[in-house]
Each structure stands twice: as C-alpha cells, then as structure tokens.
Amino acid sequence: MLDDIPFTYFDSRMPQPLLQVDWIKKSMGQEFWDQQMWYILKSHNRFKWNLNLILKHFNHSGLHVYQSVGGCETDDYGNRKSFLYHGYDGKDFISLDVSTLSWTAAVPGAVFYKRKQEADLQNQEVERHYYRNICYNWLEKLIKQGSKIIEYKAVPKVMVFHRKYLNPVRTDIICHVTGFYPPDIEVNWVRDGESPVQEGVWSGEVLPNGDRTYQQRKILTVTAEDQLKHGYSCQVHHASLNGTLNVKWGKKH
C-alpha cells in the first residue's frame, strides 16, 4: 500500500500476488515486481509458521487470528521511520524496534515468541535489510513515479443540519464533511465566530467513501437558550483549501 492506495493483493487461494495498479507495473519495472512477489510469498510462509508456533505454545485450537502490519514512512524534511507490529486474536502481541532489531513483547505471553524471533538470525537479517533499506528504496521510487497521484486533492463538501430531541430543550447540530482527500482534516464547531467549541461536541472518525475520498461528522449539542443567544458555524481546514471554509448554522433554526 502506498499511503492509502492498495497496489498489491494476495491471499492463500492465489498462486501468486496480484498487482492492482497499472502505472506501478509500467514505471517500476519487472525487478520491483519480482522483489514484491518474493517478500509477499516469504511473509505468507512466515505467517503460517508464526501462527502454528503460537497455537502450539498456548495449546490453542479452533479459529484464531494472527495479524501483522509493517512499513516505512518519510516526510518532506527527510525524516524516516519504519515499523513492524504483530497481533494475535485482535490484541497487540509483539513489535520490532527496527533501529536495534530487538523485539518487545506487548503481553507476558509473548515473551517466548520474542526469544524465538531474536534467536532466528537468518530472519533477523531479512527484516533488517527490508525495513532499513528495501522499504525506503521502494517508497522513494513510488513517490517519484506516482507524484501526480499521490499529490491528488479533493475539496470537501460541507452540509450543516440539525436533529431535534423529543425534549425541545436540546438540539444536535451536525456538520457533515465529505468528498475530501487527503484524509487529514480539521473540523470544528465555532460559536459567534470565536474559538472552537469544546464542550458538548462529538467527533466521528474519518471514514472512507469507497471512491478514494473521505467523510467525517462533527456533532454539537446546544440548548434552546444557546440557540437564541448565539450563532454557530462549522469550520473546516484542509490541504485542498486556500483558507478556512466556514458554513453557518443560524440562530433561528
């Protein structure tokens, strides 16, 4: 995955990984794709080995889930960070400190696994080479080749509406922001054009729309008295905007 763009897919029913993004195949070349396939297939085999090891250690049977997320990041200032986390049955299990190649057990039950990983010098070398070198090389090339796609921006659309309770004392005013990209966004309710309101505010998560854009809701609960005394607006800050976007919700709604 490059940022939030999945470009490779694989599951155990497939003979080999599938490249999903045409421009990557054309611009990165066969060597990149060969390396991708090697690391994915090796990770698949390692996954099976890891899960079997854990099941045997805990004497578990039936359905259990082993998960892993790893990658590398870079910013405009040249700062770099790589990471690798493992989970078991939906909970943090163990993580790798790439700088020292030491493993940290998130739970006491993972200490045995930490020792196994640190004793496997061959796999340690694979992890070291990937997270210190290969991952960054791939990332730099992908950023260079896909700059137009990575720098894509979509302007948020903002809708403000209200939802009354059966008890007329309170009203929810809702700011629904959708259609924006990238996903980083700041949404605030502002009273009388001053500082953002903190009390009585519920913030929804930033969620995908399925078309590479995102949405978020911000709900403010106000009393009948506040509705008469104050004016409210939804304030949005986003990379696609030249300034701040304000959408008002009037006093007389």
**pLDDT at residue 251 in the model:** 53
Q: What is the pLDDT of residue 144?
A: 86
Mark 204-234 as b/e (b = at least 16 C-beta within 10 Å).
Answer: eeeeeeeeebbbbbbbbebeeebbeeeebbb
Instruction: Spell out the domains of the chain, with CATH numbers in brackets.
Output: 8-150 (3.30.500.10), 157-249 (2.60.40.10)
Q: pTM score, two decimals?
A: 0.71
Q: Which two tokens stand for residue 196?
A: 């953002």
Block mean pLDDT (10 aa), the chain, length 253:
86 88 80 89 91 94 94 90 95 94 93 92 91 93 82 93 79 95 95 88 93 94 88 95 91 47
Classify each residue of 38-66 as buried b or exposed e, where b means 16 or more C-beta atoms within 10 Å of its C-beta.
ebeeebeeeeeebeeebeeeeeeeeeeeb
What is the per-residue pLDDT for 252?
A: 47
- Residue 115: what pLDDT? 94
CA-CA distance, 216 to 205, in Å (whole number)?
Answer: 6
Burial class (CB in 10 A: 0-12, 13-18, 19+), 6: exposed
Evaluate the CA torsion angle 208, 209, 215, 217 in order and state its sign.
Answer: negative
CB 85 within 8 A of CB 106: no
DSSP state of 197: P
Q: How far is CA 5 from CA 19, 106, 145, 150, 252, in A?
A: 12, 29, 14, 9, 44
